[in-house]
């Protein structure tokens, strides 16, 4: 058997009925489209969601929800995650991105107080929780 010998089983494939092609198609005068009306016209079909003039369901149902246009997308890290940096490092968003700790588009970074660290850090333009701020300042680090 060769590739050019392959064929579907006899009777398993059927040609599409070509309608709207006049009397030569063998379908008679109206070409299986009935008499007049929208669906008998060329290019005629009802749009999605049309319910015959009845108020469509997408207009009958109430609109719900709220989209806050002022929402910010902050990445969240813990103090224990900052141990990756060496002692006395200046940490900002660019340094965190370079270290692979922050990925994608973020509006800011917030440090939370989970875990402990023994290294001094100098944070720039980073949000810090109250507990994390106390832990960083007790070691001798600073937040700008």
At 24, the pLDDT band (50, 70, 90 cuts) reads confident
pLDDT score of 20 more than 80: no
The stretch 108-114 carries a mean pLDDT of 94
pLDDT score of 136 more than 80: yes
Alpha carbon distances (Å) from 125 to 72, 91, 108, 134:
15, 9, 8, 17
74-143: what CATH class? alpha beta
The stretch 33-62 carries a mean pLDDT of 90
> What proportion of the chain, given as a percentage, has pLDDT over 90?
63
Alpha carbon distances (Å) from 75 to 27, 92, 105, 108, 143:
66, 12, 9, 6, 17
| pLDDT score recorded for residue 131 | 95
E strands in 1-144? 74-78, 89-91, 108-112, 121-123, 127-128, 142-143
Place of tokens 């929402």: 71
Q: Would you kindly state where each structural domain of the chain is located, as residue ranges?
A: 74-143
| pLDDT score recorded for residue 130 | 95
Place of tokens 């720039």: 124
| pLDDT score recorded for residue 110 | 96
């Amino acid at each position: 058997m060769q590739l050019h010998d392959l064929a579907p089983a006899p009777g398993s494939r059927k040609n599409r009925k070509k309608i709207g092609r006049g009397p030569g198609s063998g379908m008679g005068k109206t070409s299986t489209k009935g008499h007049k009306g929208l669906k008998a016209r060329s290019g005629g079909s009802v749009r999605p969601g049309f319910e015959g003039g009845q108020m469509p369901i997408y207009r009958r149902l109430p609109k719900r929800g709220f989209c806050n246009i002022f929402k910010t997308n902050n990445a969240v890290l813990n103090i224990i995650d900052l141990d990756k940096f060496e002692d006395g490092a200046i940490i900002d968003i660019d340094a965190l991105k370079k270290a692979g700790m922050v990925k994608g588009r973020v509006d800011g970074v917030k440090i939370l107080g989970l875990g402990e660290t023994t290294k001094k850090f100098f944070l720039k333009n980073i949000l810090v929780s109250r507990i994390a701020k106390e832990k960083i300042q007790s070691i001798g680090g600073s937040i700008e």
